[in-house]
Structure 1
Amino acid sequence: MRPGERLPPLEIPVTRTLIVAGAIASRDFQDVHHDPELARQKGASDVFMNILTTNGLVGRYVTDHFGPTAVLRKVAIRLGAPNHPGDTMVLTGTVEEVDGDTAVVRVVGANRLGRHVTGTVTVTVPEGTR
């Protein structure tokens, strides 16, 4: 881990199943995450991914890169453009800071509409396991 290190991009196909399953798994039963007609009535073009699913995908992206011993200490994200069925979200990351076995990684997830998610993840990777 070193400042400036870039994580390889991860492409995530955004399917209707991923959106609905993520909402159900996180107990988010808001209609905009599973009912296309009600989502349109509320101004969206279709159902869209909830923040908890995005949060989980960001965490997965970082731990997949740093390995099974990586421990997420903090995930701070902000949503932008929605993820709709048929989109592909591409996650990218850059290590911003390193202090011993802990790093802060800037993460961006973009789709055809723009940036879906931006934020930072603080991760600890025990010495000898990197």
Structure 2
Amino acid sequence: MNVKLSEIAVGDQLPPLSVPLERSDLVRYAGASGDFNPIHWNQRFAEDVGLPDVIAHGMLTMAVAGRLVSEWTGDPGAIVRYGVRFTRPVVVPDDADGALVTLSGKVAKINDDGTVKISITASAADQSVLGGASATVRLPE
């Protein structure tokens, strides 16, 4: 999108983003990250440890939420700080739909140094999955 600092104000909403996740996405992420924990691919194991089903990797969920900001800025390198708390797992059923992670964000603060704080909301199955999610970005003038 290539947004500029002079074009934004506190309270501005980022364009919403919905990202589908299927079991095959979890397999690809496991291969890329090296995280082959069976809670991310084996339903029986996930249920045996008390989960409702296979869950997405927390870092995959975090990456999906970061995509909201990088698509808005048009430059992933504009993100200078990013953090989240994992509040609920994203359950990924083994069906045609999988899970849908729904993301929104807003300009929370324009800092004195010209950076911008973005508050991020992420949910799946109508429940918040990240808490305190925010990114600080540096935008062109």
Question: Into which bin does the TM-score normalised by the smaller protein fall?
Answer: 0.7 to 0.9
Q: Which moved more, 1:43-52 or 1:21-30?
A: 21-30
Tell me which amino acid in the other structure corresponds to 2:122: G
Tell me which amino acid in the other structure corresponds to 2:129: H
| Identity value in percent | 27
Contact 1:10 1:91 in 2 (8 A): yes
Distance 1:53 1:37 in 2: 21
Shift of 1:63: 0.8
Deviations 1:12-71 (A, max 9, x none): 112111222223322212111121111111111221111211121122110101112752
> What secondary structure does 1:19 align onto?
helix
Length-normalised TM-score, structure 2: 0.81
Distance 1:112 1:19 in 2: 17
Distance 1:72 1:25 in 2: 22
Alignment match, 2:5: none
Tell me which amino acid in the other structure corresponds to 2:65: V
Consecutive aligned runs of 4 or more in structure 1 exceeding 3 Å deviation: none
Tell me which amino acid in the other structure corresponds to 1:114: Q
Alignment match, 2:134: 120
Higher strand residue share: 1
Distance 2:76 2:54 in 1: 35
Contact 1:3 1:95 in 2 (8 A): yes
How many residue pairs match? The answer is: 127
Distance 2:77 2:63 in 1: 15
Shift of 1:3: 0.9
> What secondary structure does 1:52 align onto?
helix
Distance 1:82 1:66 in 2: 27
Tell me which amino acid in the other structure corresponds to 1:125: L
Quickly say closer, same or farther: Cα 1:8–1:46, change in 2 above 3 A. Answer: same
Distance 1:117 1:20 in 2: 22
Distance 1:77 1:106 in 2: 10
Length-normalised TM-score, structure 1: 0.87
Shift of 1:113: 4.7
Contact 2:61 2:90 in 1 (8 A): no
Tell me which amino acid in the other structure corresponds to 2:59: L
